Structure 1
Amino acid sequence: MADAADFYTGIVAESYAPLKSFSPEPDPYAAFVRETGGPALELGCGDGDPLLALRRQGLDVEGVDSSADMLERCRARAAEEGLPVTVHHQRMERLSLGRRYRAVFLAGPTFNLLPDDDTALAALRRVREHLADGGTALVPIHIPASTPADQLGVARTATAADGAQLRFSMVAEERDEAARTQTAVLRYERHQGDDSTVVDRAWALHWYLRSDFEKLAAAAGLVPVSVTDADGRAADDDTDYLVFRLQADPHGTS
């Protein structure tokens, strides 16, 4: 499973690019990197959004992702533009790059893809180890909403470059409030003439209340310097989309 929220990596990632549902705006992340200074690292960079946009602006940013296929797409996109880019094939919770960064960030709530609190804590510890002195991590998280019943099975469609008809739908969803998990079954279809391929894929999210995440960060040796909502305003305790800015706790250990 890729770190990035890649709703288009069904049967063939290249073919499903028209069904991509989320491309983060690069400006907030460019501003963050300029504020903190480089080098910077994007966790869960996927196929290069917004990493490549930041590289176009001359920012010193590298990327890391757990999906080799997505990183290959990222490299190919960069090569088409003659854009130098450095990306690493690793998982967040096992991150070991041998250098430190002034900025470490996730472009969107990719952190929710980590399956449980233990994995999340391991990832935060690796973030702490990769922060330079005075460096800052930017970690958005959210509490996903349940999908309305009348939206289950409703397909999005697109046409691939080779003329194949692509369909994407969510066919089932289960939510466990106690475990703080929500698992959807996503269906990818590719139809061309008499050829049809259908692939179902589980898509699991694990969420955190603000207090839960703050405890994990503290255990990893990180302290929040700000917590805002999606619009950059100070977040309330019941806000369902939180953006944490974290720095190393000078009195703690990782």
Structure 2
Amino acid sequence: MDPADFYTGLVAEAYAPLKAFAQPSEAYEKFITEHGQPALELACGDGEPLLALRGRGLDVDGVAMVPLHIPSPTPPEQFGLRNEKITDGVTLAVTVIDQERDEDLRRQVSTLRYERIDGDRHEVLDRAWLMHWCTVDGFTELVTGTGLQVDSITQADGSPAGPEATDFTVLLRPS
């Protein structure tokens, strides 16, 4: 599959209404206001909160990339459970049907089944999502080769993130 085609069609249609949570834009806006523009949102998904920030006039771009957190494995009891939403008589659904996880390689592949049911029409698409996560040190090494330097790496409370942090915010500057 061409990577440009990955987030299209049924996957794009079902992503926003069926995602587990929404990112509030206020914390991002505060961070950008304190540290300056332009800003880059990594792992921007469907553009939330990126689009809200741009709508407020902030100079922010986004890129789908490695998450800055370690994703939790899907609990076994959730395999096969269908998450669905019905809007205007159309059912959008997503189901985790398989997952392979390798802690040593920091990689998880989750196969999701997307469905769109509209009357007699039933569209089904299975899509494998690859997530590769970085440690603090691994992310620092990754960005060093891009012409950027790490200014700070912090936890949600603003304290410095140690090498074993599982969720962190990175402030980058040009080298």
Answer whether contact 1:155 1:167 (CA < 8 A) is retained. yes
Q: 1:49 to 1:196 in 2, by over 3 A?
A: same
Residues 217/16 of structure 1: CA separation in 2 closer, same or farther (3 Å cut): closer
Structure 2: runs of 5 or more not aligned: none
Partner AA of 2:23 in structure 1: P
Sort the Cα spacing of 1:236 and 1:15 in 2 relative to 1 into closer, same or farther, 3 A.
closer
Deviations 1:74-97 (A, max 9, x none): xxxxxxxxxxxxxxxxxxxxxxxx
Report the residue type matching 1:24 in the other structure: Q
User: Which one-letter code corresponds to 1:198 in the other structure?
Assistant: V
Please tell me whether residue 151 in structure 1 is matched to residue 78 in structure 2: yes
Structure 1 stretches of 4+ with a deviation exceeding 6 A read none
Deviation at 1:43, TM superposition (A): 5.3
Are the structure 2 counterparts of residues 192 and 57 from structure 1 closer, same or farther at C-alpha, using a change threshold of 3 Å? closer
Q: Which of 162, 166, 190 pairs up with 2:92?
A: 166
Say if 2:121 is the partner of 1:195.
yes
Q: What is the SS of the residue equivalent to 2:68? A: strand
Gapped runs of 5+ residues in structure 1? 66-109, 113-139, 250-254
How far apart in 1 are the matches of 2:104 and 2:113? 27
Structure 1: distance between partners of 2:104 and 2:47: 35
Query: Counterparts of 1:15 and 1:181 in 2: how far apart (Å)?
Result: 24
Give the corresponding residue for 1:204: 130
Matched, 1:236 2:152: no
Normalised TM-score (structure 2): 0.79
- Residues 41 and 64 of structure 1 are in contact (CA less than 8 Å); yes or no, is this contact kept in structure 2? yes
Deviations 1:165-193 (A, max 9, x none): 22211110001233221100011112233
Structure 1 residue 245 corresponds to structure 2 residue 157: no
Aligned to 1:19: 18
Aligned counterparts, 1:1-254, within 5 A: 1=3, 11=10, 13-14=12-13, 17-42=16-41, 45=44, 47-59=46-58, 61-64=59-62, 110-112=64-66, 141-161=68-88, 163-249=89-175
Equivalent position amino acid for 1:147 in 2: T
Q: Name which of structure 1's ranges 43-52 and 233-242 shifts more when overlaid on structure 2.
A: 43-52
Question: 1:11·1:199 contact (CA, 8 Å) conserved in 2?
Answer: yes
What is the TM-score of this pair, normalised by structure 1? 0.57
Q: How far 1:207 sits from its partner (Å)?
A: 1.3
Distance 2:47 2:137 in 1: 32
Tell me the CA shift for residue 209 of structure 1.
1.9
* Structure 2 residue identity aligned to 1:63: D
Aligned residues: 171
Q: Kindly indicate whether the alpha-carbon contact (under 8 Å) linking 1:187 and 1:200 is maintained by their aligned counterparts in 2.
A: yes
What is the DSSP-based 3-state SS (H/G/I as helix, E as strand, rest coil) of the residue aligned with 1:141? coil
**RMSD of the alignment, in Å?**
2.7
Q: Residues 96 and 110 of structure 2 are in contact (CA less than 8 Å); yes or no, is this contact kept in structure 1?
A: yes
Distance in structure 1 (CA, Å) of the matches to 2:110 and 2:147: 33
